[in-house]
Amino acid sequence: FPNIVFSLQINLRLILVSGKTKEFLFSPNDSAADIAKHVYDNWPMDWEEEQVSSPNILRLIYQGRFLHGNVTLGALKLPFGKTTVMHLVARETLPEPNSQGQRNREKTGESNCCVIL
Count of residues for the chain? Answer: 117
pLDDT band at residue 114, thresholds of 50, 70 and 90? Answer: low
For the chain, how far is it from start to end, CA to CA, in angstroms? 38
What pTM was estimated for this model as a whole? 0.74
- Main-chain phi, psi angles of 112, to 5 degrees: -110, 170
Please give the CATH number for the structural domain made up of 10-90: 3.10.20.90
37-90 pLDDT, tens per residue?
999 999 999 999 999 999 999 999 999 999 999 999 999 999 888 899 999 999
Neighbours of 87 (CB within 10 A): 15
More confident position, 23 or 113: 23
pLDDT recorded at residue 116 = 55
